[in-house]
Each structure stands twice: as C-alpha cells, then as structure tokens.
Homo-oligomer: A and B are copies of this chain.
Amino acid sequence: MPSVSQAGSRAAGSPGRDARRPVSATTTAYRHAKERLLDGRFPAGQLLSENELARELGISRTPVREAFLLLEAEGLLELYPRRGALVTPISPTEADDLLEARLLTEAHCAGAVTAPDPALDAALAETIDAQRRALADDDRVESHLFTVADREFHRAIVVAHGNPILTRQYDALRDRQQRISALATARSRERIAQFIAEHGEIAAALGAGDGQRARELVESHLRAAHELARGARR
C-alpha cells in the first residue's frame, strides 16, 4: 500500500513530524484523507463529509475537521461553509501549471550546483539503486516503489540546494502532481528504464559539478515525462 508519509509528509505543516508519539487523531485523519486524495480514491469533485470520515476512523469530527483545514491549505480540498468539503477539481491547466512551477524550482536548484557534492551524489545514487530494484521486482503491485524513489531522486536535488522554503514549496507541488498522475500513468518497463537512464545522466552531471548541464537534462527529462503523461491522460 502506498504510504502518504513516504516522501510527501516532510512537507509543510503536515502534522506528525515528531514521529514516535501515540499519533494524534488529527494526524490519523490527515494521513488517511491525504492518501486517498493523492491516489485517487477520493476523486476530484467528490463531496466529503466530516461525519462520514470520523465514523470510518472511529474518532470524532474535531480532528477530521482539522485535517480538512490542513488539506484545504494545501490546495487538495475546498471547504464550502455548511456544505461540505469538495475534492479540488483538477483544472484543465493544472498539469501544465504544476510542471512550470516544478521546473522553475528544480532547474534552478540543479543549475546552482557549481561543484561536486558527495552527500548529494550519495543520495542520488541510492535512489537510482532503489529505482533499479523497483524495475527488477516489477510486479505491478510494487510499481509505487518506483514512484517513491523517483520522488526522492528529484527531491534530493532541491534539498541539496539548502533553501528550506523552496523545499517546502516543492514538496507541495509533488503532492499535487501525484494526484494527477494517479489518474492515468501508463508506464511501460521500457519507459521506466529510460527514466532511470536519464536520472543517471543527471546524477553524473551533478557529480561533475556541472550544474548547467544538469539543468538542461532536468528540463528535458521533466518535459518528456510531462508529454508522456499528457498522452496517457488523453
């Protein structure tokens, strides 16, 4: 089962940062709802009710309400007074908007690299390994393993840049992107292998301290993935 808290929950105001704690009811509700929002089990346009979710989780409405508030702040939900919580519809331009925002951040961070960074290299190498393993194991069920590792790879580039504000924004972008790609992502083994190869090239450029080249690779890599997804959505 995909876990929301894999890569995403380091983001922003996500509750439950401090791990090891009885896990508050709010956190439970937040994770539960976010997971469903991201993987599409709560489809865009659906109206959620606090009551229903509270009953389902065996908690009261209060923490559910708090979770909804947080999710609204992340742009995943829209709260209508005394009506309910609407799963934010995906606008026709959302995928494009997200790509632009993401590219802006990620390319900037990649391009800012001017010297090799052992910590970054190690992080990238590790996620690429994870991607290869995911590809090898590919039993369809495990497909999300690749998704997780992919997120980690790209995130590492942003994290390495060391601007927590950008990192936070970036995390939020990827959450929303994940929701879109959950709709339709027909990825063949060949495509995934191709992605991994591109990751390798990016890592190599960064390892050589060549931010400019990394930046260009990141741009074409992301645009290609975007085009692919666009095709799948149609």
A residues lining the B interface (CB < 8 Å): 12-13, 18, 21, 24, 62, 65-66, 69-70, 72-75, 81, 91, 94, 97-98, 100-101, 104-105, 108, 163-166, 168-169, 173, 176
Given contacts A12-B73, A73-B73, A75-B13, contact A98 B165 (CB under 8 A): yes
Given contacts A104-B108, A105-B104, contact A69 B166 (CB under 8 A): no
A24: which of B74, B81, B165, B173 is its contact (CB, 8 Å)? B81
- Shortest CB-to-CB span from A17 to chain B, Å, is 10
Interface centre among A98, A163, A173 (most CB of B within 10 A): A163
- Given the known interface contacts A69-B69, A81-B21, A81-B24, the answer about A101 and B13 at a Cβ–Cβ threshold of 8 Å is no
Q: Is the interface of A mostly helix, strand, loop or mixed?
A: helix
In contact, A104 and B104 (Cβ under 8 angstroms): yes
| Chain B residue contacts of A21, Cβ below 8 A | 81
Judging by beta carbons under 8 Å apart, are B100 and A166 in contact?
A: yes
**Which residues does chain B contribute within 8 Å of A24, judged by CB atoms?**
81
Taking the closest CB of chain B, its distance from the CB of A42, in whole angstroms, is 18
Residues of the B chain whose Cβ atoms lie less than 8 Å from the Cβ of A108:
104
Contact A163 B66 (CB under 8 A): no
* 7 extra interface residue pairs, beta carbon distance < 8 Å, beyond A12-B73, A101-B163, A169-B169: A12-B75, A13-B69, A24-B81, A66-B66, A73-B74, A97-B164, A101-B165
Q: Is the CB of A168 within 8 A of B75?
A: yes
A26 to chain B: closest residue by CB: B69
Determine if B72 and A69 form an interchain contact, defined as CB atoms under 8 angstroms apart. no
Closest Cβ neighbor of A108 among chain B residues: B104
Instruction: Please tell me if the beta carbons of A163 and B13 are within 8 angstroms of each other in the complex.
Output: no
CB distance from A92 to the nearest CB of B (A): 12
Q: Which residues of B contact A165 (CB under 8 A)?
A: 75, 94, 97-98, 100-101, 173, 176
